Amino acid sequence: MKLRSYMFLGLFISLFLSILPFSGNVTNAATPAVLSFTQNVQKTVLDNGLTVLTKEVHTAPVVSVQVWYQVGSRNEGTGENGISHQLEHLMFKGTTDRPVQFGRLFSALGSQFNAFTSFDETAYFGTVQRDKLEALLTLESDRMKNALIGSEQLTSEKRVVISELQGYENSPGYRLDREVRKAAFPNRAYGLPVGGTKADVEKFTVEQVRNYYQTYYSPNNATLVVTGDFSTEPTLKTIKATFGKLTKGKKTALKVSPAVTAVSTAKKAPIVLKQPGSAALLQAIYPLPDIKHPDVAAIDVMDAILTGGRSSRLYQAVIETGLASSVSGSAAELIEPGWYEISAIAAPGKKLSNIADNIQQSLTKLQQELVSSEELNRAKTQLQTGLILNNQDITSQASQLAYNQIIAGDYNYTEKYLSAIAQVTPQDVQRVAKTYLNPAKQTIGFFEPTQANGEPGTSSGGSGRTVENFSPGQPVDPAELAKYLPPTTSATNSNQQSLPEQFTLANGLKVLLLQDRSLPTINIRGKINAGNEFDSIQKAGLANLTATNLMNGTKTQDALTLAQTLENKGTELGFSASREGVSISGQGLSTSLPILMQTIADVVQNANFPADQLELSRQRELTSLKVQLDDPRGLGRRVFQQAIYPINHPFHSFPTIESLQSITREDVVNFYQQHYRPDATTLTLVGDFEPNQVKSLLNKAFGQWTAKGEPPVLNLPTVTLPIDLQQLNSVIPGKTESVTYLGYNGISRQDPRFYAALILNQILGGDTLSSRLGTEVRDRLGLTYGIYSGFAAGMNPGPFVISMQTAPQDTQKAISSTIALLKQFREQGITEAEFKTAKRSLINSYPVELASPSQVASIILENAILGLSASEIREFPQHIQAVTMTQVQKAIAELIKPENLIIVTAGPDNTITKGN
């Protein structure tokens, strides 16, 4: 059941996701008996048909409220493809009683909120401090029946949806998926894109959307889930007082797609797309039964055997052989019969037909020979453990329950699924492989790029004088907004955040431990001061190539042994280089802690960088580079950053084909020996462990690790702001949507203005639905799907950046509107009401961040790396509260400089305004 990556093929109204996909890749006996996904769950059905699931989880002072409607793209008729998604957007435009952007209301409550549309469902969710529970319930019940769906709202949000759809069109993978699914399901709604088509969206009428809303948005077609720190009985009273007064909707006739017709015995020729792009892509689809079919567990075990990690069959068949740069599989088990999908990205110069042949050989072998007990148990462990790891926070637990109830019709589905996983035999795997991986049932597509070298098109620069001058509307008055906010319950004393224990080993390795016995899991985060900042221009990419090769073998274990050791326990471990260090990320069940620690210690001390694996890694990096240069977001950010920072600054350096090809094994070994040191390493552990046992493990694993001399240090050159506004354009052939970055060098995390900068940014562009930029450029003008601003404040000053996605013909207008708003912001400052609302939003949302163990591990690590006190994790809200209005106004004067902007737009060539 991989609950579920396919849930998130749904389309999000915001660019930031606050919950993880439920795909797990995981043990026979590894699932602890103490963990029940449905323990404490109470199901209540109101008189109006609303299904309510409540689950008390008292691990953090937060609650998650989610409303899932059983309607998605599957329910759409001819000419209305995308109407479910369009309605999802309109659900944020206000109600008859609250005619304001709901994103502003959620933000004022400090909610982490979002929504998505998928094949079978549309969902809305928010996670808040526990005293905001009643307020969230009031808002969700209001928009279930009273949403404002008028011509003004539909006109502006149509533009936003079309911008979103055009953004997807930039992706070759999206275009290939659309063609393959359309061919696989020519007469079924699952063959249509969830977000719809531009042609259909443009034709939607107010009456059409309103009728769709009235048909499907009713209590008897919805499930409400509440998880977290609350008491069930009083909460149910509140639910009955809010949702219970809504009237039951008409019984909707369940739209059923045409029956799947008999499949031809002849294998179909591949669909071939020859279009501008970078990497060659493959996608194959096989029809599957629905989620209630008894074969689901065996199908998911089969998928884990094929694509579950490095030891999986397809990884070994096409990645270790150098044919592909990546391969993945996913089973979409939905309300109606779904599909199994295999996707791959070709390595440079490799033929898609050869990859397809190797994949088919692996599938045939699976059909002809029984899998080993070792492979079977590994696959089961990955599925079972993955479910636990992906449900460590209450938001994910709520989504799991809602998905089970809406799609499978039973919130207990996970328990039954795990039981079924445990019963799968080698014969079951062979049988489902024969049944469903039939070549005659396959639909396969190839994307063959017409720009084989992946090079971007031309770039041009100019003075950046914009041709239009827009006057922004007046900022939304928070006092006016406050009239529509439901009351919160009396403030509760938040649970006092525990502080980590910190110590340093004799060799200089820093460790921070935070015990959390709420779940049988462990989350490890680490940082080694060996990131991209140490790359030279000539060897750009060296730090990342070193990091990605750590798991390719040590003095005592080869790559496959390392992978199998971890994957046998369903444990995840990865290393990746960034601008300021190499990140270590590991998680697993608490019983896996010794293996995780031993593996980390082995690879950071004993990596041996086999030449053949290094070459395969280089080819994968070259593919990734080509994909990045073909993506307006990736290319735009690269050009933007290089325009801000001088050529001798570490933040200017980006990998090129030439630099990656020039890196030798000797370069990697020397970099590893120079930069991987205990006194440049920090580890954070959060989870279910005994501190004394961990200390013993650490001393045993890392005690012999030594470093010679002083660690390397950086001397950063001074970064000056441009004398005047500069505008650059990078053209990428074949794109439909533009991405623009505006900004300049900003501040570091240690800057005394940091907390004031957070508040000003929250007002300016911290959230696309509630900020000034979002209100102006997205809501009022409808020019962008999403617009955000932020300070990339790390150990060193990073850029202040505003990013947005626009249709090419709207780009210049959006830039001009943004500049005009920045000038207004600089000249007029902010109001007292905005100031208080932003502070309250930041303070109220912070406990939600701390409700996820993996997020807590990351926060503790970053605070330590940035030289902050260990108590910062507890004191952050006080720091925000202590900021004065005068300090924010001063920060605006010093940090908002519209006259010094670097502006970079990447996308189609019709973005560039003539005369600029």
Residue range 899-908, pLDDT digits in tens: 999 999 999 9
Residue 458 has pLDDT above 60, yes or no: no
Q: Which of 603, 625, 609, 632 is nearest to 541 (CA)?
A: 625
What is the per-residue pLDDT across 780-806, written as a single tens digit (0 to 9) for each? 889 999 999 999 999 999 999 999 999
Type of residue at 20:
L
Q: Using the Cα atoms of residue 807, residue 811, residue 817 and residue 819 in order, give the sign of their dihedral.
A: positive
Strands 581-589 and 572-578, how do they pair? antiparallel
Taking each continuous run of H as one helix and of E as one strand, the counts in the chain are 31, 24
CA distance 618 to 657: 10
Q: In Å, how far are 53, 83, 103, 336 from 406, measured between CA atoms?
A: 12, 19, 25, 12
pTM for the structure as a whole: 0.92
Residue 709 has pLDDT above 50, yes or no: yes
pLDDT band at 475 (very low <50, low <70, confident <90, very high): confident
Type of residue at 42:
Q
Q: Are 545 and 576 in contact (CB under 8 A)?
A: no
Average pLDDT rounded to a whole number, residues 271-289: 96
Take residue 475 and report the two structure tokens written for it.
Answer: 């900022």
Using the structure block, give the residue that is written with the tokens 């912070």.
Answer: 846
pLDDT band at 813 (very low <50, low <70, confident <90, very high): very high
Q: Which of 474, 462, 469 is nearest to 813 (CA)?
A: 469
Radius of gyration of the chain (CA): 27
Q: Are 108 and 39 in contact (CB under 8 A)?
A: no
Sort 182 into a burial class: Cβ within 10 Å, 0-12 / 13-18 / 19+.
middle
pLDDT band at 489 (very low <50, low <70, confident <90, very high): confident
Give the least confident one: 36-40, 43-47, 73-77, 229-233: 36-40
Order of strands, sheet of 222-228, starting from the edge strand that comes earlier in the sequence: 11-12, 112-117, 122-129, 62-69, 222-228, 51-56, 41-45
Order of strands, sheet of 681-687, starting from the edge strand that comes earlier in the sequence: 501-504, 510-515, 681-687, 521-528, 581-589, 572-578
Runs of H (alpha helix) within 327-412:
352-368, 373-389, 394-403
Residue 20 has pLDDT above 80, yes or no: no
Residue 261 has pLDDT above 70, yes or no: no
389 three-class SS: helix
Give the least confident one: 87-96, 117-126, 707-716: 707-716
Which of the residue ranges 95-109, 161-175, 293-307 has the most confident prediction, judged by mean pLDDT? 293-307
Q: Half-sphere exposure of residue 771, counting CA atoms within 13 Å on the CB side?
A: 27
Residue 568 has pLDDT above 80, yes or no: yes
What is the per-residue pLDDT across 604-641, written as a single tens digit (0 to 9) for each? 999 999 999 999 999 999 999 999 999 999 999 999 99
Q: Are 555 and 567 in contact (CB under 8 A)?
A: no
DSSP 8-state code for residue 359:
H
- The whole-number pLDDT of residue 24 equals 30
Angle of CA points 686, 691, 696, to nearest 5°: 115
CB atoms within 10 A of CB 378: 28
- The whole-number pLDDT of residue 481 equals 81
Average pLDDT rounded to a whole number, residues 831-855: 93
Take residue 721 and report the two structure tokens written for it.
Answer: 């702001």
Strands 726-731 and 459-462, how do they pair? antiparallel
CA distance 224 to 243: 9
Higher local confidence (pLDDT), 249 or 324: 324
- The whole-number pLDDT of residue 130 equals 94
Q: In Å, how far are 400, 559, 596 from 572, measured between CA atoms?
A: 21, 14, 8
Q: Which residues pair with 66 in a beta bridge?
A: 125, 225
pLDDT more than 90, % of the chain: 84
pLDDT band at 34 (very low <50, low <70, confident <90, very high): very low
- The whole-number pLDDT of residue 255 equals 60
Sort 666 into a burial class: Cβ within 10 Å, 0-12 / 13-18 / 19+.
exposed
DSSP 8-state code for residue 438:
-
- The whole-number pLDDT of residue 30 equals 39
Runs of H (alpha helix) within 204-262:
206-216, 232-242
844 three-class SS: helix
Q: In Å, how far are 437, 776, 833 from 829, measured between CA atoms?
A: 62, 16, 12
- The whole-number pLDDT of residue 326 equals 96
CA distance 587 to 500: 18
Q: Are 271 and 180 in contact (CB under 8 A)?
A: yes
DSSP 8-state code for residue 775:
I
What is the per-residue pLDDT across 717-769, written as a single tens digit (0 to 9) for each? 989 998 889 999 999 999 999 999 999 999 999 999 999 999 999 999 998 88
Residues 6+ positions from 553 with CB-CB distance below 8 Å: 559, 562, 607, 608, 609, 610, 613
Average pLDDT rounded to a whole number, residues 260-270: 65
Q: In Å, how far are 106, 134, 166, 475 from 479, measured between CA atoms?
A: 15, 21, 36, 11
Residue 913 has pLDDT above 70, yes or no: no
Q: Are 138 and 489 in contact (CB under 8 A)?
A: no
Residues 6+ positions from 274 with CB-CB distance below 8 Å: 448, 449, 450
Higher local confidence (pLDDT), 793 or 913: 793
Type of residue at 637:
R
- The whole-number pLDDT of residue 77 equals 87
Q: C-alpha 707: how far from its chain's center?
A: 37
Q: Are 881 and 705 in contact (CB under 8 A)?
A: no
CA distance 818 to 824: 10
CA distance 323 to 662: 22
CA distance 369 to 864: 52
Q: Which of 18, 27, 39, 8 is nearest to 387 (CA)?
A: 27
CA distance 73 to 197: 12
- The whole-number pLDDT of residue 714 equals 87
DSSP for 704-736 reads T----SPPP---PPP-PPPSS-EEEEEE-TT--
Residue 153 has pLDDT above 70, yes or no: yes
Q: In Å, how far are 67, 492, 589, 704, 849 from 700, measured between CA atoms?
A: 49, 44, 21, 8, 33
Give me the chain's average pLDDT, please: 90
CB atoms within 10 A of CB 392: 22
CA distance 824 to 185: 52
Average pLDDT rounded to a whole number, residues 885-894: 97
583 three-class SS: strand
First to last CA, the chain: 53
H/E element, 886: helix 885-895
Residue 582 has pLDDT above 90, yes or no: yes
Type of residue at 738:
S
Q: Where are the beta strands (DSSP E) in 153-311?
A: 222-228, 271-275, 281-287
Q: Which of 461, 471, 470, 466 is nearest to 899 (CA)?
A: 466
CA distance 527 to 584: 6
Q: Which of 846, 763, 377 is nearest to 567 (CA)?
A: 377
Take residue 106 and report the two structure tokens written for it.
Answer: 């959620």
CB atoms within 10 A of CB 713: 7
Higher local confidence (pLDDT), 751 or 278: 751
- The whole-number pLDDT of residue 476 equals 74
- The whole-number pLDDT of residue 265 equals 57
What is the per-residue pLDDT across 194-214, written as a single tens digit (0 to 9) for each? 999 999 999 999 999 999 999
- The whole-number pLDDT of residue 472 equals 75
CA distance 615 to 660: 10
Strands 112-117 and 501-504, how do they pair? unpaired
pLDDT band at 22 (very low <50, low <70, confident <90, very high): very low
Residue 93 has pLDDT above 80, yes or no: yes
